[in-house]
Structure 1
Amino acid sequence: MLIANLEAPFDSPDYLYELKFDGIRCLAYITKDSVDLRNKRNKDITALFPELNEIYCQVNSRCILDGEIVVIKGNKPDFFEVQKRTIMTNPFKIKLQADRLPASFVAYDIILLDNKLLIDKGLEERKELINKTIYENERIAISKVFDNGVALFELCKSQGLEGVVAKRKGSKYFFGKLSKDWIKFKVLEDKDYVICGYIQKPNNMTSIIIGQYNNKKELIYKGHVTLGSSLRALNQHKYTIIDHPPFNTPVPTGNEYAVWLKPELVCIVEYMPSNKDGLRQPVFKGIRDDKSPKDCLID
């Protein structure tokens, strides 16, 4: 189930509120002796998080859980650390990273229990079933529910956390649907963009060129965001250099020395909310492999 956007936090007796964790969305398929972790593109990521291989021991029934994999660093979730794990391939290095900064699975919904599909049951009933199914420890936790969205959002701001998800009471679970039943309000907004190229500047800084698709499936230029002083984050992924801009519209001046890339990678850009066009104080947050470039759409 997908989460809609809302700019302003609110309080309502019709909603429950939860922390929005800065991790990667994941479904956990759990049996009496195994766990299978799948990201939003149904990619099997179980081997990337060996520290979660035994969370089935904390679950008393066969089930499918919806939640997030998080890595805690500095007493709060760190997206970079969990995202870094998703591009690792060496089992020994994965194990070292798991020992150094172990991940946890935070469950906030239950889709199936003992072969019974739960998507038509109300939110509160699903929450009650989650609490009866999971025995929490340091590797698996249940997302806590709060009654006051504004106060929770202010707490997130003061603690440097990502934000809040408001969920309508009594709501059902809809696969792949963007619904106002689940709404997020974040301390910082973010959007997904297609990486279309990069420019290495004289000050040793590198910026990446980003784009999004319109409703005609045309790739539209959306500007630059600073990557940093090297291409390290980009070079951890496979990309293809091409000899022309990948956009369907003309490219503005200032891109004459760009290295153009085939639109294969997706990145997250974080920014301050603003009523004006464009991104205010954009910050490159990371590259994600759980979303297709074609799904990076202009609002």
Structure 2
Amino acid sequence: MDIFNERKVDPMLIAEMKEPFNNPKWIYELKLDGCRCIAYLDRKSVDLRNKRNLKLLQRFPELKDIFKLVTDRCVLDGELVVMKNGVPDFYELQRRTLLSDPFKIQMAANRYPASFVAYDCLYYEGKEIALTPLLERKEFLKKSFGAETARFAISRYIPENGIGLYNVADQRELEGVVAKRADSLYFMGKRSKDWIKFKRMADEEYIVTGYIYKGKNIYSLVLGRYRNGRLLYKGHITVGVSAGVIKTLVPTGINPFSILPKGNENAIWVAHQVCTVEYMPNTKNSMRQPVFKGIRADIVPEEITEDS
């Protein structure tokens, strides 16, 4: 199977979050607050896909010419980011992924253009290299770039000093650091302990099942997660939920829970979508100061389980 022609790469996933550490057998790079993206590039075209293999280029037209910057046919794993005030802004990126009107998309692209930042190379010069050790893939990644621009760049990494890089990310209020074993292989669709993260702010995905209007333009989303195929009620999130978010939800009138959770008698039940909730981690394994971060169009609700 030629993964360039098949266009069905399922990205490898980060296994877990840990405390920062130093290790000479690991490399460390900044965790960008964006959207995972697989780029299929040759000297004539570009095709961008999210984790659900949905095409993204029509929503990010400012990236239509990045194929001119590669040296050969390649498949790159990376992140789509939108920069605002010098740092990645997930809210602006999430807003872009929900736009469908070409005029509004172009307006947004002009105001806050997106960039593709590559951190892995899975295919180069007609050959799949996913099962080549990471540092060798990093060399292929460099070879695949004829040039870098503000729209198309390579993620930098440092060896050994994960704590130092995390401290830099913390000081600059960036999302965190990804740690990768230097000799790790790329197993598509797998969650590997060879990749872990150190995050300033933790986050988790939940299923949006409905919402409650609380008056004065304040809304709460009703959240759930699956366990053994059954949808479990997981509470509410209010901070960060805007009327604009509510407008994207599609009412169904169907309570998805086997038992109506107390306090949800006035809920408007909606077609399920996935959202990210960001919070300050603590030692009690619970969310502190949770904030709604955005809808995730790249994840299906069935993926959100108590084991994920």
TM-score (ref. length: structure 1): 0.94
Tell me how far apart the structure 2 counterparts of residues 251 and 154 of structure 1 sit (CA, whole Å).
45
Match of 1:258 among 264, 267, 271: 267
Q: What SS does the aligned partner of 1:40 have?
A: coil
Residue 13 (structure 1) shift: 0.9
CA offsets 1:33-89 (integer angstroms, 9 cap, x no match)? 110000000001111111111111111010000000101001100011111111111
- Indicate whether 1:197 and 2:210 are aligned: yes
Q: What SS does the aligned partner of 1:161 have?
A: coil
Tell me how far apart the structure 1 counterparts of residues 288 and 239 of structure 2 sit (CA, whole Å).
16
Tell me how far apart the structure 2 counterparts of residues 136 and 86 of structure 1 sit (CA, whole Å).
24
Matches within 5 A, 1:20-99: 20-99=31-110
Counterpart in the other structure of 2:303 = 295
Tell me how far apart the structure 1 counterparts of residues 240 and 296 of structure 2 sit (CA, whole Å).
17
Tell me how far apart the structure 1 counterparts of residues 184 and 287 of structure 2 sit (CA, whole Å).
33
Match of 2:142 among 124, 131, 142: 131
> For the Cα contact (< 8 Å) 2:251–2:268, is it kept in 1?
no
Counterpart in the other structure of 1:247 = 257
Amino acid at match of 1:75: G
Tell me how far apart the structure 1 counterparts of residues 47 and 260 of structure 2 sit (CA, whole Å).
44
Counterpart in the other structure of 1:112 = 123
TM-score (ref. length: structure 2): 0.92
> For the Cα contact (< 8 Å) 2:38–2:78, is it kept in 1?
yes
Tell me how far apart the structure 1 counterparts of residues 241 and 120 of structure 2 sit (CA, whole Å).
40
> For the Cα contact (< 8 Å) 2:217–2:243, is it kept in 1?
no
Tell me how far apart the structure 1 counterparts of residues 223 and 241 of structure 2 sit (CA, whole Å).
18
Counterpart in the other structure of 2:237 = 225
Residue 174 (structure 1) shift: 0.6
Q: What SS does the aligned partner of 1:14 have?
A: strand
Q: What SS does the aligned partner of 2:207 have?
A: strand
Tell me how far apart the structure 1 counterparts of residues 240 and 32 of structure 2 sit (CA, whole Å).
25
> For the Cα contact (< 8 Å) 1:239–1:265, is it kept in 2?
no
Q: Which moved more, 1:121-130 or 1:268-277?
A: 268-277
> For the Cα contact (< 8 Å) 2:280–2:289, is it kept in 1?
yes
Tell me how far apart the structure 1 counterparts of residues 224 and 285 of structure 2 sit (CA, whole Å).
15
Cα RMSD (Å) = 1.4
Counterpart in the other structure of 2:3 = none
Tell me how far apart the structure 2 counterparts of residues 259 and 238 of structure 1 sit (CA, whole Å).
10
> For the Cα contact (< 8 Å) 1:221–1:251, is it kept in 2?
no
> For the Cα contact (< 8 Å) 2:221–2:241, is it kept in 1?
no
Match of 1:142 among 154, 159, 162: 154
Residue 253 (structure 1) shift: 2.2
- Indicate whether 1:184 and 2:197 are aligned: yes
Q: What SS does the aligned partner of 1:84 have?
A: helix
> For the Cα contact (< 8 Å) 1:207–1:228, is it kept in 2?
no
Counterpart in the other structure of 2:4 = none
Q: For the structure 1 residues 10 and 41, does the alpha-carbon distance in structure 2 shift closer, same or farther, using more than 3 Å as the test?
A: same
CA offsets 1:198-225 (integer angstroms, 9 cap, x no match)? 11114541110101001x1101000110
> For the Cα contact (< 8 Å) 1:246–1:261, is it kept in 2?
no
Amino acid at match of 1:82: L
Q: What SS does the aligned partner of 2:98 have?
A: coil
Residue 187 (structure 1) shift: 0.5
Structure 1: give runs of 5+ residues left out of the alignment.
none
CA offsets 1:212-254 (integer angstroms, 9 cap, x no match)? 001x11010001101557421131x3523314x2124x34422
CA offsets 1:82-136 (integer angstroms, 9 cap, x no match)? 1111111111221111111111100000011111000111000000111122121
- Indicate whether 1:285 and 2:293 are aligned: yes
Counterpart in the other structure of 1:6 = 17
Match of 2:165 among 125, 129, 152: 152
Amino acid at match of 1:287: I
Structure 2: give runs of 5+ residues left out of the alignment.
1-11
Amino acid at match of 1:58: L
Q: What SS does the aligned partner of 1:86 have?
A: helix
